[in-house]
């Protein structure tokens, strides 16, 4: 069986999560909006899930909105907060997830919102000074990824929040990749996105936390569920699942991050020693514990992936949203890599619970790169 090292794309559902959510498909199947005992049992589970999420994120329970995943949460945060503000300027960066960039483009095309892509350096880091220079009096929102999904660079979220707040601008953090690896509370974020399938909950589960004082225009209208911010009958089982997964990940986070980071560092060092010309992308130290991303000059990333899979290693060339594409990564282009070099990218994202060294994987990488390079 292949070793799966594409955990930034998705993770398996944890057994504890399956066990926690199962009763809400059968015994406790009620609609939480129904005012009878069957509905009230579901409502109680939903309230409990909301409180558990709030405890991890450091927000009020009423700030938590359950969604269908990271893409919906990012869309809702950006469109909802910008349109709710009445202002016409958004600040983000060019290295964000496609759901952020496409939401910004939508606001420009249909609502005349100006978008500034604050510059990042060659590690993918957004400095507080660069953010400050991008803000205007009419800025409605800053939307930044806490940790990049391709190169793993981690932003100084608290410093960025302080800069935004000094100008009276709220900060939205896309924490989809950060959850389970980095602290989520106490960062000063006004809105935060989490996706369940990155932390051991099912696909189709997500969280958007929005501080209640902020004007917010919902994407979905109807029965007024989720305090009017996301209409539709709530997915109680999904809410229980993501709350359980998030709480488990937070309990394990510090120990897992330290242990996995040590394995990652040894892996990176071995790959660099074995593969001439290999380069690490992203910040050398301020990176997700489980992310090791490389470019291999003179190769093609997608071809290297095929060679790796032949050797029992499953990884990716970047975002799962662009899987199979031979196009250069917009993230790598934005940090200054040339087009051809960007097409050689390979990303390894490690799982929680990893304990063995990755020496065998590093050897497989060297073999795969050599095999691809020998073809000219």
Cβ proximity of 67 and 242 under 8 Å: no
Burial degree of 363 (CB within 10 A; 0-12, 13-18, 19+)? middle
Q: In whole angstroms, what is the distance from residue 118 CA to residue 215 CA?
A: 24
Residue 321 known to be catalytic: yes
Beta-strand pair 291-295/279-280: antiparallel
- β-sheet bridge partners, residue 22: none
Give the contacts of 376 (CB within 8 A, at least 6 positions apart). none
Which residue is catalytic, options 166, 254, 262, 321? 321
Cβ proximity of 67 and 95 under 8 Å: no
* Angle formed by the axes of helices 37-57 and 236-274, nearest 10°: 30
- β-sheet bridge partners, residue 265: none
Nearest Cα neighbor of 172 from 244, 238, 99, 231 is 99
Q: Which uninterrupted H or E stretch holds 77?
A: helix 70-85
Q: What are the Cα distances from residue 245, in Å, to 45, 55, 235? A: 15, 13, 15
Strands, E, within the chain: which ranges? 3-4, 64-67, 89-92, 114-117, 139-145, 171-174, 191-195, 206-210, 279-280, 291-295, 313-314, 345-349
Number of helices (H), then strands (E), in the chain: 11, 12
Nearest Cα neighbor of 94 from 47, 57, 126, 139 is 126
DSSP 316: B
Catalytic machinery residues: 321
């Amino acid at each position: 069986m292949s070793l799966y090292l594409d955990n930034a794309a998705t993770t398996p559902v944890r057994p504890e999560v399956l066990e926690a959510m199962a009763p809400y498909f059968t015994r406790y199947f009620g609609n939480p909006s129904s005012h009878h005992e069957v509905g009230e049992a579901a409502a109680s589970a939903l309230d409990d899930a909301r409180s558990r999420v709030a405890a991890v994120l450091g927000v009020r329970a009423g700030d938590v909105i359950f969604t269908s995943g990271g893409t919906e949460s990012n869309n809702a945060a950006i469109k909802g907060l910008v349109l709710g503000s009445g202002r016409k300027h958004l600040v983000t960066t060019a290295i964000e997830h496609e759901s952020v960039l496409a939401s910004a483009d939508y606001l420009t095309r249909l609502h005349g919102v100006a978008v500034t892509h604050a510059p990042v350096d060659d590690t993918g880091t957004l400095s507080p000074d660069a953010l400050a220079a991008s803000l205007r009096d009419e800025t409605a929102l800053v939307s930044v990824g806490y940790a990049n999904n391709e190169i793993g660079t981690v932003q100084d979220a608290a410093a960025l929040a302080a800069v935004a707040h000094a100008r009276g601008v709220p900060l939205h953090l896309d924490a989809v990749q950060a959850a389970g690896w980095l602290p989520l509370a106490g960062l000063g974020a006004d809105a935060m996105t989490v996706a369940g399938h990155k932390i051991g909950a099912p696909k189709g589960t997500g969280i958007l936390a929005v501080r209640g004082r902020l004007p917010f225009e919902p994407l979905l209208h109807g029965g007024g569920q989720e305090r009017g911010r996301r209409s539709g009958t709530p997915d109680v089982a999904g809410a229980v699942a993501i709350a359980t997964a998030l709480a488990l990940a937070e309990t394990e986070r510090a120990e897992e991050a330290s242990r996995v980071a040590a394995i990652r560092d040894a892996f990176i060092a071995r790959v660099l020693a074995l593969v001439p010309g290999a380069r690490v992308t992203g910040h050398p130290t301020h990176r997700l514990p489980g992310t090791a991303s490389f470019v291999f000059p003179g190769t093609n990333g997608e071809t290297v992936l095929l060679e790796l899979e032949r050797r029992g290693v499953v990884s990716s060339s970047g975002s799962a949203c662009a899987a199979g594409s031979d196009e250069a990564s917009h993230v790598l282009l934005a940090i200054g890599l040339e087009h051809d070099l960007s097409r050689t990218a390979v990303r390894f994202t490690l799982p929680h619970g990893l304990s063995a060294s990755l020496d065998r994987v590093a050897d497989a990488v060297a073999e795969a790169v050599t095999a691809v390079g020998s073809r000219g």
